[in-house]
Amino acid sequence: MGRCLSCGQDNPQGFRFCGACGSPLVEAPRRPAGEERKVVTVLFCDLVGFTARSDRADPEDVGAMLRPFHARLRGEIERVGGTLDKLIGDAVMAVFGVPAVHEDDPERAVRCALRMLDAIAELNQAHPALGLAVRIGVNTGEALVALERGPDSEGVVGDVVNTAARLQGVAPVGGVVVGEATWRATRALFEYEPLTPVVVKGKAEPVPIWRVHAARSRPGVDVAERPPTPLIGRGAELAALQRSYRRAFGEHAVRLVTVLGEPGMGKSRLVREFAGFVDAQPELVAWRQGHCLSYGEAVGFWALSEIIKGQAGILESDDPLEVGARLDAAVGAVAGDASEREWLKARLAPLVGLATVAEAPAGRDESFVAWRRFLHLVARRSPLVLVIEDLHWADPALLDFLEQLPDQAGPADLLVVATARPALLDRRPGWGAGPEATTVSLAPLDDRQTAALLEALLGRSALPPEAQSLLLERAGGNPLYAEEFVRLLTDRGLLTRPGDPARASDLPLPESVQAVIAARLDTLEAEHKTLLQAAAVFGKVFWSGALAAMEGSAEDEVRRGLAELERKELIRAVRLSAVEDEARVQLLACARPRRGLRPDPQDQPCSPPPGGRPVDPGPRR
């Protein structure tokens, strides 16, 4: 049946005109798919000289050449969590941050680009007749993303896409060129060479670019620390780590400390400060560190693999014979019995990338026993601290192993320090509940602590009042946000002249901060994310009744959704409300998403629903 858009009459299938009013029956217009602003990283890879080569070639021969190229690059893109957005002849466009944003999307894109160069070399080696060469451009920025890709919608739209394509065009053959935002986000992780800024179509000013030469480390390992910043507002948390250290080694037992905090709260910074405390101790303590990865293949025990490699002194450049020799030496140093040494080596071998030498593959339980046994033997020789970062990304099997680590019989001086986001407790509600476990939670800094951090970062005694107020509001007690805003101010010279705070009033949100916020929001259930986006339209302060009216939902349902958002520390209920029987709620600084709209920089409280009087939001916590 076709419904007439003029009179509403239902008509039989196949009618071209309405039988009641005679109006033409036209298909109802499609409702446009939802769109959302996101910080994404776009990668363009294009074959060099392929158009000329295929000009006179048979179309089937062209397809035969392109198929392995497209298949290999698609595999490299998906391996690091990217999305193949489109294939345009011999060009490939990938997007990192769609459908879900990750705060390390720029790193993923650059690693993917380097892997693409390796993949092209491998294809040429396997098929010399191909003779493929590519140029790659990578750029990070804000884009409008279609939440539901349809035939009438573009997946990603924005200047970031156009600029990435332009960067690909100026990249050297066999090279990767990145834009400024990508460089800022990854400059500690890769070796870059600054190139002469280029004039690209559509840009009024020359665009600064950098060429990527190589990664400074394997994924998940930070070899270039950020400039040291003072540890402010974390004295009690550091003391808790130090108490666990003394208790573990004083009691010759295994203890687990989990440092919980949202992104940017200083988990890694606290661990680095704790490392300084450990280094200052009179006893010799082994410090082994591993990272859980959020992407890639065979990463279930990546963190444990890094720890075992570190204990054995195994390098990424070692060949299998050298890896085997180093593992043999590491096991022999702690295990005296020959049969136990062979048993341990066979079960540790897969963790260091060696084929197992056992007659039959070991089961999970037996592998866990062997891994625990090795770590306990190491800890019996000398105190051992194991640090596992980003445990919220850990495979369930690794979480099982860590929970069983204290089960090994006998004394051992072993302290396990894990950093994680609160999302870990959603997966494992009982994590860290045992008598041998401690949880250290990192809360946002208060305004006094944030002001002290800003002053230390800027190296000055005081900021202009307006600028300090702005930065305090934007940072929201998050140390990473404060550091990124200061870096942005310094890089762009927005506070170079004392007494000129007006230029800071237009301070944009750094891409790294946008990515962290967006990554948090993309972990929400769809209905909760939609609710938060609707709340952001009101402003910093809103009322549950007004939100329910705007969404067309029952207020009880809205309140349940707000309770979940408060549990995730994205909003905070305010005790006093000017509207009877309605909850007054405040968005936290780290949860102000945008829905195609730019919020008022002052974040003024929204107007209450009819019948209520506006109330001053009061001082920030």
Whole-Å CA distances, 75 to 50, 68, 297, 511:
21, 11, 11, 27
Say if residues 432 and 438 touch (Cβ distance below 8 Å): yes
Helices (H) and strands (E) in the chain, counts: 20, 18
pLDDT, residue 223, reads 45
CATH assignment of the domain containing 54: 3.30.70.1230
Going by pLDDT thresholds of 50, 70 and 90, the confidence category of residue 29 is very low
Say if residues 459 and 429 touch (Cβ distance below 8 Å): no
Do 40 and 169 lie in one domain? The reply is: yes
Least confident range from 50-64, 223-237, 369-383: namely 50-64
Which of residues 487 and 619 earns the better pLDDT score?
487
Do 252 and 341 lie in one domain? The reply is: yes
Model pLDDT for residues 397-445, shown as the tens digit of each residue = 999 999 888 876 678 899 999 999 988 998 899 898 888 899 999 999 9
Say if residues 553 and 544 touch (Cβ distance below 8 Å): no
Residue 62, classed as helix, strand or coil, is helix
pLDDT, residue 553, reads 74
Boundary residue ending a domain (381, 406, 441): 441
Segment 289-313 shows an average pLDDT of 84
Type and span of the H or E element at 191:
strand 190-198
Look-up: residue for tokens 């693409």? 116
Segment 259-288 shows an average pLDDT of 90
CATH assignment of the domain containing 250: 3.40.50.300
Give dist(CA 108, CA 82) in Å, integer: 8
Nearest in space to 421 (alpha carbons), one of 503, 520, 510: 520
Do 530 and 497 lie in one domain? The reply is: no
Type and span of the H or E element at 404:
helix 396-404
User: Residue 463: inside a domain, yes or no?
Assistant: yes
Least confident range from 110-124, 177-191, 335-349, 581-595: namely 581-595
Which of residues 221 and 523 earns the better pLDDT score?
523
Residue 115, classed as helix, strand or coil, is helix
Do 471 and 344 lie in one domain? The reply is: no
Least confident range from 125-134, 532-541, 542-551, 597-606: namely 597-606
Least confident range from 86-95, 111-120, 414-423: namely 86-95
Whole-Å CA distances, 500 to 101, 495, 496, 503, 619:
36, 7, 8, 7, 26
Whole-Å CA distances, 4 to 85, 124, 150:
38, 60, 25
Q: 466-475: long-range contacts (C-beta < 8 A, 24 or more apart)?
A: 466/501, 466/502, 466/504, 466/505, 467/495, 467/501, 467/504, 470/501, 470/504, 470/505, 470/507, 471/504, 471/507, 472/447, 473/589, 473/603, 474/507, 474/509, 474/589, 475/450, 475/589
User: Residue 230: inside a domain, yes or no?
Assistant: no
Least confident range from 31-40, 538-547, 556-565, 605-614: namely 605-614
pLDDT, residue 610, reads 37
Say if residues 401 and 351 touch (Cβ distance below 8 Å): no
User: Residue 154: inside a domain, yes or no?
Assistant: yes
Q: Reply yes or no on whether the pLDDT at 60 is more than 60.
A: yes
Going by pLDDT thresholds of 50, 70 and 90, the confidence category of residue 283 is confident
Model pLDDT for residues 179-191, shown as the tens digit of each residue = 999 998 898 889 9
Q: What is the pTM of this model?
A: 0.69
CATH assignment of the domain containing 564: 1.10.10.10
Give dist(CA 401, CA 413) in Å, integer: 18
User: Residue 421: inside a domain, yes or no?
Assistant: yes
Boundary residue ending a domain (156, 186, 215): 215
φ, ψ (nearest 5 deg) of residue 193: -120, 120
Going by pLDDT thresholds of 50, 70 and 90, the confidence category of residue 460 is low
User: Residue 393: inside a domain, yes or no?
Assistant: yes
Segment 589-601 shows an average pLDDT of 38
Going by pLDDT thresholds of 50, 70 and 90, the confidence category of residue 602 is very low
What's the chain's average pLDDT?
Answer: 79
What six digits make up the tokens of 300? 């279930």
User: Residue 227: inside a domain, yes or no?
Assistant: no
Q: In what order do the strands lie in the sheet with 437-441?
A: 286-291, 384-389, 414-420, 254-260, 437-441
Least confident range from 102-106, 339-343, 578-582: namely 578-582
Most confident residue range from 85-89, 129-133, 172-176, 315-319: 172-176
What six digits make up the tokens of 173? 């053959």
Do 187 and 305 lie in one domain? The reply is: no
Model pLDDT for residues 213-250, shown as the tens digit of each residue = 998 766 555 544 555 677 899 999 999 999 999 999 99
Give dist(CA 563, CA 571) in Å, integer: 9
Boundary residue ending a domain (500, 516, 532): 516
Give dist(CA 383, CA 248) in Å, integer: 9
What six digits make up the tokens of 58? 């048979």
Segment 29-44 shows an average pLDDT of 73
Do 552 and 612 lie in one domain? The reply is: yes
Share of the chain residues as helix, strand and coil, in percent rounded to the nearest 5: 45, 20, 40
pLDDT, residue 62, reads 66
Nearest in space to 311 (alpha carbons), one of 368, 384, 254: 384
Q: Reply yes or no on whether the pLDDT at 258 is more than 90.
A: yes
Nearest in space to 70 (alpha carbons), one of 54, 55, 84: 84
Do 277 and 382 lie in one domain? The reply is: yes
Do 10 and 60 lie in one domain? The reply is: no
Do 437 and 451 lie in one domain? The reply is: no
Segment 572-587 shows an average pLDDT of 59
pLDDT, residue 26, reads 56
Residues in the chain: 621
User: Residue 222: inside a domain, yes or no?
Assistant: no
Do 353 and 430 lie in one domain? The reply is: yes
Most confident residue range from 328-342, 505-519, 576-590, 594-608: 328-342
Which of residues 466 and 343 earns the better pLDDT score?
343
Q: Reply yes or no on whether the pLDDT at 391 is more than 90.
A: yes
Give dist(CA 478, CA 449) in Å, integer: 10
pLDDT, residue 439, reads 94
Segment 317-343 shows an average pLDDT of 88
Domain containing 331 equals 235-441
Give dist(CA 547, CA 584) in Å, integer: 10
Give dist(CA 308, CA 191) in Å, integer: 27
User: Residue 207: inside a domain, yes or no?
Assistant: yes
Nearest in space to 25 (alpha carbons), one of 42, 34, 36, 12: 12
Give dist(CA 362, CA 359) in Å, integer: 9
How many distinct structural domains can be found in the chain? 5
Helical segments of 286-381, H only: 302-312, 320-334, 338-348, 364-381
DSSP 8-state assignment for residue 507: P
Look-up: residue for tokens 């974390």? 234
Least confident range from 195-204, 392-401, 436-445: namely 195-204
Do 180 and 323 lie in one domain? The reply is: no
Which of residues 227 and 540 earns the better pLDDT score?
540
Nearest in space to 76 (alpha carbons), one of 101, 62, 94: 94
Q: Reply yes or no on whether the pLDDT at 14 is more than 70.
A: no
Segment 97-122 shows an average pLDDT of 89
Most confident residue range from 265-269, 483-487, 588-592: 265-269
Going by pLDDT thresholds of 50, 70 and 90, the confidence category of residue 618 is very low
pLDDT, residue 90, reads 80
Least confident range from 36-40, 414-418, 448-452, 515-519: namely 515-519
Most confident residue range from 32-36, 519-523, 563-567, 611-615: 563-567
Do 242 and 208 lie in one domain? The reply is: no
Give dist(CA 431, CA 64) in Å, integer: 52
DSSP 8-state assignment for residue 578: S
Q: 34: exposed, middle or buried (C-beta count within 10 Å: 0-12, 13-18, 19+)?
A: middle
Model pLDDT for residues 604-615, shown as the tens digit of each residue = 333 333 333 333
Going by pLDDT thresholds of 50, 70 and 90, the confidence category of residue 10 is confident
